[in-house]
Amino acid sequence: MLTLLFDGIAYGMLLFVLAVGLAVTLGLMNFINLAHGAFAMAGGYITVLAMNRLGVPFLVCLPLAFLGAALLGALLEPLLYRRMYARPHLDQVLFSIGLVFIAVTTVDYFVGSMQQNIQIPAWLQGRFDIAWVGIGKYRLFIIVVCAALTLALQWLLSRTRFGSQLRASVDDRRVAGGLGLNVNRIFLLTFAVGSGLAGLGGALGAEVLGLDPSFPLKFMIYFLIVCSVGGTTTITGPLLAALLLGIADVMGKYYAPKLGAFIVYTLMIVILLLRPQGLFVRSGGGK
């Protein structure tokens, strides 16, 4: 049971890293980006191709995945996304669905639709057995990396100037612009970092979640759950939501395999019914 909890935490932290970029994009640009999973997929495939075709070591692939996805995000933001910020949500939904379809079919065309396998390095395979808990080394690695990233994000937001500029822009974009903040640049950097994180999550998660062209569609709903339940005004909100989701999913699949993902969806609906703004909302915030 504790092992399950541990696995659930690992899954949750992974989901958090994957989804945090989406939460920030949503909170900052009020843009519903259903294509967020495509950046995660990009990171995953960069890792797979680098490792399997070029023999790049796993640990090096991780920052590569981050950079690759971040670059992709930095390219697409000014080119495409920026025109869509002021559009109604329906347009944003249609637009990002279109992007997902393009991404999925492109990957399918170039790499094929089979699930990709990664050979994680030997020192990350296996597990420690401590008391009643079986701690998978890889999952421990995921937790450590994601926790470090979370702390880094928290530090970035609360201790750096960029962080306070970002928070100001989330609270009130017009006022922030009026104060002389270069809102466009903030958006670009944020979008790039968020996409990079997704890519990193995709790389980390390839072993645990599976990687094939339908990844963005399969996991889209999970990312959205993290954002809608966790709210988009804080970092801790999505973190807690992701942990909750991860644990619920792992436990659910073990104890009630017949019900499967049913539990997760029902939980989400119940939560949204009771708290439509999400579970964790910073009071006094904007939307």
Minimum distance of another protein from residue 97's CB (angstroms): 6
Identify the three-state secondary structure at position 249. helix
Distances (CA, A) of 180 to 25, 160, 183, 190: 21, 17, 8, 18
The yes or no reply on residue 227 touching another protein (CB under 8 A) is yes
- Partners of 211 in the beta sheet? 116
Amino acid at 18: L
The yes or no reply on residue 272 touching another protein (CB under 8 A) is yes
CA–CA dist 203, 41 (Å, integer): 8
The yes or no reply on residue 225 touching another protein (CB under 8 A) is yes
**Applying CB under 8 A, which of residues 117, 184, 236, 266 lies at the interface with another protein?**
266
The yes or no reply on residue 159 touching another protein (CB under 8 A) is no
Q: Can you spell out the DSSP letters for 43-98?
A: HHHHHHHHHHHH---HHHHHHHHHHHHHHHHHHHHHHTGGGGTTS-HHHHHHHHHH
The yes or no reply on residue 217 touching another protein (CB under 8 A) is yes
**Footprint (CB under 8 A) of another protein, residues 75-104:** 80, 83-84, 87, 89-91, 93-95, 97-104
The yes or no reply on residue 279 touching another protein (CB under 8 A) is no
Size of the site for another protein (CB under 8 A): 45
Using CB under 8 A, list all residues that contact another protein: 26, 32, 80, 83-84, 87, 89-91, 93-95, 97-106, 109, 217, 221, 224-225, 227-228, 258-262, 265-266, 268-269, 272-273, 276-277, 283-284, 287
